[in-house]
Every structure is written in structure tokens, then in C-alpha cells.
Amino acid sequence: MGKARFTETHYSVCHECLFALAYDEYDGVPPERFGAIRKGVEGLGWVSATGEELGHGSAPCDCCRSYLHGDRYRATKLERVKR
């Protein structure tokens, strides 16, 4: 049996999505954003929210799709390569 191989997909996520991905934490999320964040978290599936800072930006969050300006953080998804 050989080594398992994986591909990495990197995402840029906002502060609220970082906490939702890492800790399933939604405290402090404004009610009008809760649905988009929850849907984004479910859509990404299992990811590692490393919290690596990517800097301030206005690009949409890869999780909730919000264009709100703010810091972005890295989240990484590992998927096994099928043989």
C-alpha cells in the first residue's frame, strides 16, 4: 500500500467565518449575516482554519461571500487524491 496523496485548496476567509470554521462559534455574528456564514461553512466542509493572516482586503470572503472590508485569514482543505 503506497502513501496517501492529498491536494490542498486554500481559502481566504473573514474573521467571523474563521471562528465559525475553527470553533463552530457564532457568538457576535450579526443576525443578517448568520445565514450566509452558516451556508458557507456547510459548503466548504471540513477545513483547517489555521488563522494565518493574509492582510486587510475588500475581496469577497471565500466562505460567506461578503464584500465587507477587513482582515482575511487562511483556511485550508485537504482532499485525498483518488487513484
CB 78 within 8 Å of CB 4 = no
Give the type of residue at 41. V
Confidence of residue 80 (pLDDT cuts 50, 70, 90): confident
Q: SS3 for 40?
A: helix
pTM of the complete model: 0.86
Helix (H) or strand (E) holding 12: strand 6-13
Q: pLDDT (tens digit, 9 = 90+) per residue, 18-54? A: 999 999 999 989 999 999 999 999 999 889 988 899 9
Domain boundaries, the chain: 50-83
For helices 31-44 and 15-23, angle between their N-to-C axes, nearest 10 degrees: 60
CA distance 40 to 62: 8
Q: What is the pLDDT of residues 3-19, one digit of tens each?
A: 888 899 999 999 999 99
Residue 81 confidence (pLDDT): 87
Give the confidence band of 1 by pLDDT, cuts at 50, 70, 90: low
